[in-house]
Amino acid sequence: MPGDTLSTAVAAVELPLDDPRALAAVSLIWREAHLLDARAYQEWDRLWAEGGEYIVPIDRDTTDFASRLNLVYDDDRMRRMRIERLTGGFSISAAAAARTVRSLSRFVVTGREEDALEIRSAQILVGYKREETFVLGADVTHRIVFGEGGARIHRKVVRLVNSEDTVTASGFLL
């Protein structure tokens, strides 16, 4: 599998628009952003391939997520538990859910395999919660796999620009 360090992004300078997989992957990533802003978490979960990982590391340069402390390191089970907390109405994240609008751009293909693409992008998220507006920036890496069921997210790594700052309960997914 291709490297996932930020330095890898320097070598990648294109989104091959003649590759239908690249267009399908970007379309999937935009659909994901739409579902997250709409808080359609059950539908968002269906975008994932079995065994998919949703990761928000604290150390922006790490590639060894299993042995490092992360803000989020979810497999299928943990991702679904997180969705239940956000939609169940019994947690602070559900009671004070933020409204979000996100934009993704600067798509580059950073890895290619026979059945997968790795795509890096920039995400700007504007949120509103408890009468306050906030902005989060992140470098996002998606590993998109292609199979009989179409394109699916196999791994999503969200490297927040301010990942080492104090984190408060968010009430949304990145």
| Element containing residue 154 per DSSP (H, E) | strand 150-160
- Looking at residue 9, its pLDDT comes to 47
- Looking at residue 1, its pLDDT comes to 47
- Looking at residue 18, its pLDDT comes to 75
- Looking at residue 22, its pLDDT comes to 94
Cβ–Cβ < 8 Å for 163, 60: yes
- Looking at residue 65, its pLDDT comes to 96
- Looking at residue 137, its pLDDT comes to 95
Cβ–Cβ < 8 Å for 62, 73: no
- Looking at residue 11, its pLDDT comes to 54
pLDDT in tens, the chain (174 residues): 455 555 544 555 577 777 899 999 999 999 999 999 999 999 999 999 999 999 999 999 999 999 999 999 999 999 999 999 888 766 555 556 789 999 999 999 999 999 999 999 999 999 998 888 999 999 999 999 999 989 999 999 999 999 888 766 567 899
Per-residue pLDDT tens for 123-133? 999 999 888 89
Please enumerate in sequence order all residues whose Cβ is within 8 A of that of 83, keeping only pairs 6 or more positions apart, or say none: 41, 42, 44, 45
Q: Is 58 exposed, middle or buried (0-12, 13-18, 19+ CB in 10 A)?
A: middle
pTM score, two decimals?
0.87
Q: Give the angle subtended at the CA of 81 by the CAs of 144 and 163, to the nearest 5°.
A: 65
Q: Specify the fold of 8-160.
A: Nuclear Transport Factor 2; Chain: A, (3.10.450)
Q: Could you state, in order of their start, the residue ranges of all structural domains in the chain?
A: 8-160
Q: Is 9 exposed, middle or buried (0-12, 13-18, 19+ CB in 10 A)?
A: middle
